[in-house]
Amino acid sequence: MELYNGRPEHTESRLEKELRVYDLLDSLGVSYARVDHEAAMTMDACEEIDRTLSEGVEKGVSICKNLLLCNRQETDFYLLLIPGDKPFKTKYLSAQIGSARLSFAKAEYMEAYLDITPGSLSVMGLMNDHEGRVRLLIDEDVLKPAYFACHPCINTSSLRFATKDLTDKVIPAMKHEPTIVKL
């Protein structure tokens, strides 16, 4: 597995939604590293990817789970970023955001609102949520490492960029004010 700087040189076989991520990052002046890999559907499958993305980084990379949640009525949707090794308990989150009975949202909502398929969920999908249907929730521990990692809306590539760029450039450009939670 090899770490590359910036967007892929050849883009013919890349999906449009992946290319839009690179376009956004480039337009914001965000420096990023990229690794291409086999489809990564689980956190366990990400171990080798994590090692590659952490190369040359002293203060760590935040590799997180991305969970699309909704209320019982399926009217309120939440994208939760949580450290990959942290257990998730809905009762702790529900109390902090004032929404009872959270559950995992159906794949159809992920595709409709974020243009992402299961296994590829990423904060970058918020760039496709033009109507603001999904509320961004970030566990405070995701923001502690110097670097952040995510998929570019497809699970055959992973990106690493400065956490400060995530909070100061990327999220504001996607117009999704984050709610910081403690889980």
Q: Concatenate the DSSP letters of all residues of 107-149 into one string.
A: HHHHHHHHS--TT---GGGGGG-TT--EEEEEEGGGGSSSEEE
3 state DSSP class of 90: helix
**pLDDT tens digits for range 124-180:** 999 999 999 999 999 999 999 999 999 999 999 999 999 999 999 999 999 999 999
Domain segments of the chain: what residues? 3-181
**pLDDT tens digits for range 49-106:** 887 888 777 666 777 889 999 999 999 999 999 998 898 888 889 989 988 789 999 9
**Per-range mean pLDDT, top range of 9-18, 34-43, 127-136:** 127-136
Q: What is the CATH number of domain 3-181?
A: 3.90.960.10
- The pLDDT value given to residue 43: 61
